[in-house]
Structure 1
Amino acid sequence: MSKQKKMKIGTMLNGSGQNISSWRHPRAVADGSINIDHYQQLAQKAEQGKLDFLFIADGLYITEQTRPNLLNRFEPVTLITALARETSHIGVVATLSTSYSEPYTVARQFASVDHLSGGRAGWNVVTSPLEKSAANYNKGAHPEHDLRYKMAKEYLQVTRGLWDSWEEDSFIRNKQTGEFFNKEKLHKLNHKGEFYSVEGPLNIGRPPQGYPLLFQAGSSEAGRNFAAAEADAVFTRHLTLKEAKHFYQDVKRRAEKEGRDPDTVLIFPSISTFVGATKEEAEAKFKEVSELVDEQAALDYLGRYFDHHDFSQYPLDGPFPDVGDLGRNGFQATSDRIKQIAKKEHLTLRELAFRITTPKDENIFIGTPEEVADLMERWFIEGAADGFVLGNQILPEGLNDFVDLIVPVLQERGLFKREYEAITLRGHFGLSKPKNQFVNTKSKL
């Protein structure tokens, strides 16, 4: 009898919660995004629930209108390093931009975290959707959307090459002979490409996982192609089960065309859960969160997807205004989806702002533990997800409820593990360790 496939589950750790006004919630930690004790407790709670990974998002540009959690928060690689030392099994995934960082530094950072954590590091590879990020870096104009993905592809070629600088048993450290390392097992990259020129080698040994696990978050055409070719896992967001199934099948099909086993490219839709002893109690929790958001906060949040456009200048009870190509060089898939929602549902600007900030779409699971588990099971069994990323609207309440109330139901149904079955993040995902590309070649330092 074949072993039952189990879903993989990770959780976003985003300060006081995913909701834009979460810090106002009476049971939220208002300074959560800069409170290390809070993060450590969340990480340990997630590990208690046998979750597979922690996920830290990021952005590189803020204004006075930016959602509060993003105004004052830890740098992700620094944060996952701290959380890795407070946990023993759960994966730690940080977002880092290829558009505004150097491959050598990033390869070194993630190799270091992988060593420090014993093979639990993951990198959410992003190309930075916020166009005004360029204003904070001395690199000129923000690269065009598809060009950013082309650059990212070469960027990963470089970082993988750097991670392969050393073979597994390079370091001998023989005190008697004075031989610290085997020179035959050190490889110089000597990469000269269209966007990057990097000599190498990297000044840290090969990561325990070979390569830290690579996430990708992007649903545009270029984003899907990049995910299919490069990612181990894809973090995505879909409002309906039908959309999620279509995306799942599409990316798996693209991965196969790239010559990859589609089962090794795992799809993780974002979901939010509101759970109570009764459906009514769960609905009350949702209502409590939705009422935190005021009109200006909703408009500011909407503007973020359109290059921080000021929507307060338009009639709130009029139709969604024509904003041209705003957002197309940033959150392309999301800004397109928002326009489609406005048109399809005939929403006013006010209605659209609240629709986006306090959604109640099919990916918002509300109900008893059994009802929420039913929804997760359906998405999983029907081919919309290999697992999920929890977008807890309020922290710590959302994560505590999920671990204490929903995880036991999933475990009872055989859909989720009762104990960790591996020690690395790749192991949690059932993925093998990549081979060193320089082994059995004649290219030596």
Structure 2
Amino acid sequence: MAIQSRGQLHLGAFLYFTGHHHAGWRHPNSGVEQMFDIDNYVRMAKKAESGKLDMIFFADLLHLIYPGAAAAGMMDPIALLSALSMVTDKIGLTATMSTTYNEPYNTARKFATLDRISGGRAGWNIVTSQTDAEALNYGRDKHPEHGLRYEMAQEFVDVVTGLWDSWEDDALVMDRESGVFADTSKLHASDFRGKWHFSRGPLNVPRPPQGYPVLIQAGSSEPGQNFAARIGEVIFTAQPTLASAQAFYKSVKAKLAAYGRSEDSLKIMPGLSPILGSTEDEARRKERELLDLIRPEEATGFLSAMLQFDLIGYPVDGPLPEIPDPVGMSNGMKSRVQLIMDLAHSENLSVLELGRRLLGARGHLQFVGTPERLADMIGEWFLQYGCDGFNIMPPVLPGDLDDFVDHVVPILQRRGLFRNEYEGSTLREHLGLPRPAIGHFKSAAAQA
């Protein structure tokens, strides 16, 4: 492959329970027994850092899925990343925090603290949550409507960034002689009063080292794309083909100019779940082993929940039945529902095949093959403007993370597609993102 001219791509490691494959925890190579053991996460974080990856990422769910899955348990990601900040030096530390079921002041304080104790390595994945199950855990009867959640989220982020801006960078004086701890002329009450949120400020943590922790967004619907174009610096997205990825890439990048932003100010990183083998046959065997661990009732139940249509009673080896307006009926991840329908029809999959395929990588791109072929695919997507990099989603942890770092990263490095060493110390430096000035997103909003 010829040396590319786009610079270098970005890679994250999405560490999810004992792996992204729904039944990966049942595999004999999974570390399910250690999923609540901090030493397990220390090992994986250090492994990702040894591969010079940009970041590790922890998702967050605010409800119990069901006790039959490893996803029934999840530790608080901010607490976990705070611990990992003490045993890593360079790798970015990113986590989900919902704008629907948190308060802006607490969110601003937690991420400012993480950014400080990690030396500028924090990133916030901004989500609006998905289900009524989460609403019921937070004293609400119903999850807010999809479009309304994004309206609320935009205001939430305005409050948080305003609180991060409430300390000027040189507000801390700490002059023992004069007795001046902070220059009060450089501390500002944000006094945000919106439709959904109110916060006076200032924050009780000085401005984060990065100015703002890196802002990440994971929605691919039209409201999600517009939200990302205004405030996002990284997008995690699910794209099943290069063609769809290129269309999404072009669509999102084209929206940035309206906010006075350059195309380089937002990095698009689709999810990629690799099943690797030393040969194609070995990789296919590993794929079949994992698929066979997904019980038919799990595949049907997952599809029923995602599509909000009861598939119990339909033949599992038959096609997906006609479902009236599944995207319009969804109040969750509309872009993911559209992806499911497109996949079912384009590949003529049975209910069982579709359910198992989705549970294999939860709708994200799945690759099965050798490390060399995976490096080819990653290079093609990057050089053909389908992405700025990938968020790697190992099917079974910790082994599949090890395989990617040990066998794929060196190939990408030899081809000039990925760094050999970190050149900076902060997540913004890894991603090539500038440190935002105070009022950065206020000025962006004014241009829209």
TM-score, normalised to structure 1, is: 0.93
Aligned to 1:219: 220
Distance of aligned partners of 1:44 and 1:359 in 2 relative to their CA distance in 1, 3 Å threshold:
closer
Give the deviation of 1:411 after TM superposition. Answer: 0.5
Aligned to 1:204: 205
- Bigger Cα displacement from structure 2, 264-273 vs 24-33: 24-33
Q: Tell me the distance in 2 between the aligned counterparts of 1:15 and 1:85.
A: 21
Quick check: 2:45–2:88 contact (8 Å CA) kept in 1? yes
Aligned to 2:120: 119
Aligned to 2:152: 151
Counterpart code for 1:132? A
Partner of 1:31, secondary structure, is: helix
2:414 aligned with 1:409, yes or no? no
Q: Tell me the distance in 2 between the aligned counterparts of 1:323 and 1:70.
A: 28
Q: Tell me the distance in 2 between the aligned counterparts of 1:346 and 1:306.
A: 17
Root-mean-square deviation (CA, aligned residues, Å) is 2.2
Aligned to 1:253: 254
Q: Tell me the distance in 2 between the aligned counterparts of 1:83 and 1:120.
A: 11
- Bigger Cα displacement from structure 2, 108-117 vs 71-80: 71-80
Q: Tell me the distance in 2 between the aligned counterparts of 1:182 and 1:332.
A: 48
Q: Tell me the distance in 2 between the aligned counterparts of 1:162 and 1:236.
A: 28
Partner of 1:305, secondary structure, is: helix
Partner of 2:35, secondary structure, is: helix
Aligned to 1:169: 170
Aligned to 1:443: none
2:7 aligned with 1:10, yes or no? no
Quick check: 1:23–1:31 contact (8 Å CA) kept in 2? no
Deviation string for 1:182-229 (max 9, x for gaps)? 111101001111111110110000000000001100111111111111
Partner of 1:273, secondary structure, is: strand
Matching residue within 312, 328, 333 for 2:335: 333
Quick check: 1:15–1:31 contact (8 Å CA) kept in 2? no
Quick check: 1:131–1:329 contact (8 Å CA) kept in 2? no
Q: Tell me the distance in 2 between the aligned counterparts of 1:33 and 1:310.
A: 32
Quick check: 1:240–1:362 contact (8 Å CA) kept in 2? no
Partner of 2:387, secondary structure, is: coil
Aligned to 1:364: 366
Deviation string for 1:104-162 (max 9, x for gaps)? 00000000000010000000000002233211112442111011011111111110000
Q: Tell me the distance in 2 between the aligned counterparts of 1:368 and 1:349.
A: 28
Quick check: 1:130–1:331 contact (8 Å CA) kept in 2? no
Quick check: 2:100–2:153 contact (8 Å CA) kept in 1? yes
Counterpart code for 1:47? E
After superposition, where does 1:21-420 map in structure 2 within 5 Å? 21-64=23-66, 68-306=69-307, 311-321=311-321, 324=324, 328-358=330-360, 363-420=365-422
Quick check: 2:163–2:201 contact (8 Å CA) kept in 1? yes
Distance of aligned partners of 1:347 and 1:77 in 2 relative to their CA distance in 1, 3 Å threshold:
same
- Bigger Cα displacement from structure 2, 348-357 vs 232-241: 348-357
Q: Tell me the distance in 2 between the aligned counterparts of 1:303 and 1:281.
A: 32
Q: Tell me the distance in 1 between the aligned counterparts of 2:280 and 2:111.
A: 43
Q: Tell me the distance in 1 between the aligned counterparts of 2:14 and 2:4.
A: 32
Q: Tell me the distance in 1 between the aligned counterparts of 2:42 and 2:276.
A: 23
Q: Tell me the distance in 2 between the aligned counterparts of 1:422 and 1:67.
A: 43
- Bigger Cα displacement from structure 2, 248-257 vs 105-114: 248-257
Quick check: 1:20–1:301 contact (8 Å CA) kept in 2? no
Q: Tell me the distance in 2 between the aligned counterparts of 1:133 and 1:162.
A: 26
Partner of 1:104, secondary structure, is: helix
Partner of 2:416, secondary structure, is: coil
Partner of 2:32, secondary structure, is: coil
Counterpart code for 1:286? E
Aligned to 2:444: none
Give the deviation of 1:239 after TM superposition. Answer: 0.8
Partner of 1:211, secondary structure, is: coil
The count of corresponding residues between Structure 1 and Structure 2 is 436
Deviation string for 1:82-118 (max 9, x for gaps)? 1111111000110010011100000000000000100
Structure 1 segments unaligned to the other structure (5+ residues): 439-445
Counterpart code for 1:376? I
Aligned to 2:446: none
Partner of 1:92, secondary structure, is: strand
Structure 2 segments unaligned to the other structure (5+ residues): 441-448
TM-score, normalised to structure 2, is: 0.92
Give the deviation of 1:279 after TM superposition. Answer: 2.1
Counterpart code for 2:286? K
Q: Tell me the distance in 2 between the aligned counterparts of 1:358 and 1:255.
A: 33
Quick check: 1:217–1:235 contact (8 Å CA) kept in 2? yes
Q: Tell me the distance in 2 between the aligned counterparts of 1:233 and 1:368.
A: 28
Q: Tell me the distance in 1 between the aligned counterparts of 2:114 and 2:378.
A: 31
Counterpart code for 2:159? V
Quote the sequence identity (%): 42
Q: Tell me the distance in 1 between the aligned counterparts of 2:422 and 2:95.
A: 21
Distance of aligned partners of 1:387 and 1:375 in 2 relative to their CA distance in 1, 3 Å threshold:
same
Partner of 2:404, secondary structure, is: helix
Give the deviation of 1:171 after TM superposition. Answer: 1.6
Deviation string for 1:259-304 (max 9, x for gaps)? 2111111100111222232222222222222222121222233234
- Bigger Cα displacement from structure 2, 83-92 vs 274-283: 274-283
Q: Tell me the distance in 2 between the aligned counterparts of 1:53 and 1:391.
A: 12
Deviation string for 1:41-76 (max 9, x for gaps)? 000000000011001112222343x76222111111
Quick check: 1:303–1:311 contact (8 Å CA) kept in 2? yes
Aligned to 1:429: 431
- Bigger Cα displacement from structure 2, 283-292 vs 190-199: 283-292
Give the deviation of 1:36 after TM superposition. Answer: 1.4
